[in-house]
Structure 1
Amino acid sequence: MSHSPSDWDNAWQGLEPQQPRQPRGGYWIALAAAAFLLVAVVALGYYVLQQRGATEPDLTLPGEEATAVAEGEATAPPDGAATTESAGPGIAPTVTLPGAFATPQLPPPASDVVAARLDSPPAIDGDAAEWGALPTYSSPHIVFTGNGWDGTDDLAASWQVAWDDDNLYLIANVADDIHAQSQTGNQTFRGDSVELQIDADRAGDFGPTISPDDFQLTLSPGNLADLPPSAFRFQGVADGSMLDATTPHSIIVAARGDGGGYVLEAAIPWRDLGVTPSPGLVIGLAVNVNDNDRPGSAVQEMMKSNMAGRRFGDPTTWGTLTLQ
């Protein structure tokens, strides 16, 4: 017996289960809720970022600090040629210093230094007692590091200046845990020493270059034993070099060790600088301190200055000294 095929489409017509239809209003409500949630998440993230920015200090990148140190230059060698020493590693945190600088805080550095006029000259003996309450300055800025520097900052220096009709006077109190000075003459900058850069005619300069009115004085404390204190004078020449001065000088230097560094005192005759002093006179001055932590070696490992931007061949970066 044969049967005709069933018409399944017609047979199931109207019997399929009915799917409930979502009202269109619910769709828009769900979309609005999602948008609100997204806005809330973005706002919360922005708030968190703002709070972090308000509480975290700006950080100096190590590369930026290293670049600033690299721009400094070493003391000129005796032949006036450019030094080949390069900047060392990044600056390490300052360690606890020995001697007088272990407790008191250093005075702030100053680019515009004032020298008090003295009625009577101090005895040049390395004793700071006569200097009393004269203004005190410091040289805290690392402006040069040599290849041998290990990154340790164990050097601090404060100093005072004064003047009379005959001399410019300086006393420096240097804290340094290792004393190393074996050199004399134009090599004393390769050991622990104080170095002055003086622009004797700042008003007459025509640009940032060395000229014959520029001087560099290296004041050595000696080795605080059998090598006596000494001074050496470099002078600029017309081609922009800094060479050994061709005329003798009469600078007097005395020094004393204090167990954690040294005190150095000096009298620098104005005639050695070609200067006629008078109240209100302004000359260029940078006070720098050289450090060598390797006894038996002659090397300029680090230099600190009162001028953060001090450059060897640019007298406009040396700061000023005004005679009171």
Structure 2
Amino acid sequence: MRKTMITAIIALLIVVSFSGCNLSFLNLNPTPFFPTPNYTMTALFSVDEIQATNPPLEFPFNTEEPLLPTVQPTSAVTEAPTQALPTITVYSTVIPPTKTSLPPIATNTAVTVRGGTWVTGKYMKTPPVIDSIWDEWDATKYPAKYVVYGTSQWEDSDDLEGSFAVSWNETYLYLAVKVLDEKYVQNATGEDIYKGDSIEILFDTNLYGDLSVISLSSDDFQIGISPGKGGVDDEKEVYLWYPSGKAGRINDAIVASSKNDGIYRVEVAIPWKVFNITPASGQQYGFGLSVSDNDDSSENVQQSMVSNLRNRKLVDPTTWTVLTLSK
């Protein structure tokens, strides 16, 4: 009996001894290497944990607050261009001075280049017969009716008025002129032919080269035509006044004239070589045609002059009009 109790006590001591020791090789539930999931990766992927650490009211509140101000600048930016459009009117105030700058706007219009009615010279494949008869002339007729000199001496259109046409080919510049004049008087010659019934031509061979120059230059020509000294059946003459260095009679010009019932007609062919020009369709030149009158057979004097140029000034080519050669 005693031996049995001793054996039981020893067994009890052994059990107590094993339960109190922390022997790693006997522990059936070892401590894991990673921390408890509640404090590591599980917390990162847990919806409950995120909602707990971030107050739910902050997300909608913070989202709405910044959106309101950002919407306002956006609408302001899109409206800004429409509000800025009226500033285009600032440029419109610059346009009028540009329009008044004539030389840069030399666009071949009668308003911006030279005044008056522009003249077109039509090409004649078959040269006209210079006989003062206009049968073969298929060209526009232009008036020369503006009284530019001797207004007090001019009575009416029967006293002095003119009309003309211009044509050309590779050799000549052709002119056909009709003049209403009750009394034909021409007794002068040479540089004085303007002191009798006569025709004057102004011709600028370098129109766009000196468009705004208000004085004569070496490319400007003044030519006079006498239908006949003493009468239209008598000796005709074509005289070059300007350039003065080339002044003199143009001997190879051709003139024919006739008179009937207070009207005299003239046809003239002037060689292009006089102007040192090789003509071509589309070329433009400064141009003017005027008619001088003298009704006093006892004196060589220019009493009046009519022209196709309303404001004709001999020494100011900007008062001349434009001749365009065409085919």
**Structure 1 contact 145–303 (Cα < 8 Å) conserved:** yes
**Structure 1 contact 168–267 (Cα < 8 Å) conserved:** yes
Match of 2:221 in 1: 215
**Structure 1 contact 197–216 (Cα < 8 Å) conserved:** yes
SS at structure 2 position matched to 1:130:
coil
Match of 1:125 in 2: 131
Inter-CA distance 167–259: structure 2 relative to 1 (3 Å threshold): same
Map 1:25-64 onto structure 2 (within 5 A).
none
**Structure 1 contact 199–214 (Cα < 8 Å) conserved:** yes
- Select the residue among 189, 202, 206 that pairs with 2:194: 189
Inter-CA distance 317–252: structure 2 relative to 1 (3 Å threshold): same
**Structure 2 contact 233–257 (Cα < 8 Å) conserved:** no
Inter-CA distance 151–253: structure 2 relative to 1 (3 Å threshold): closer
- Select the residue among 165, 169, 178 that pairs with 1:164: 169
The worse-fitting range, judged by mean Cα deviation, of 187-196 and 202-211 is 202-211
Q: Does 1:268 align with 2:270?
A: yes
**Structure 1 contact 281–322 (Cα < 8 Å) conserved:** yes
Q: Does 1:113 align with 2:119?
A: yes
Gapped regions of structure 1 (runs ≥ 5): 1-108, 237-241
Deviations 1:247-296 (A, max 9, x none): 85521111011131210000011100111111100001101000111113
The Cα of 1:226 is off from its aligned counterpart by: 6.0
- Select the residue among 304, 307, 311 that pairs with 1:305: 307
1 or 2, which has the higher helix percentage?
A: 2
Q: Does 1:229 align with 2:236?
A: yes
The Cα of 1:197 is off from its aligned counterpart by: 0.6
The Cα of 1:152 is off from its aligned counterpart by: 1.6
Match of 1:94 in 2: none
In structure 1, C-alpha distance between the alignment counterparts of 2:207 and 2:314, rounded to whole Å? 15
Match of 1:150 in 2: 153
Alignment length (residue pairs): 208
**Structure 1 contact 192–291 (Cα < 8 Å) conserved:** yes
The Cα of 1:126 is off from its aligned counterpart by: 1.0
The Cα of 1:189 is off from its aligned counterpart by: 0.6
Inter-CA distance 306–296: structure 2 relative to 1 (3 Å threshold): same
Inter-CA distance 123–110: structure 2 relative to 1 (3 Å threshold): farther
Q: TM-score, normalised by structure 1?
A: 0.61
In structure 2, C-alpha distance between the alignment counterparts of 1:226 and 1:257, rounded to whole Å? 9
**Structure 1 contact 213–235 (Cα < 8 Å) conserved:** no
Inter-CA distance 138–110: structure 2 relative to 1 (3 Å threshold): farther
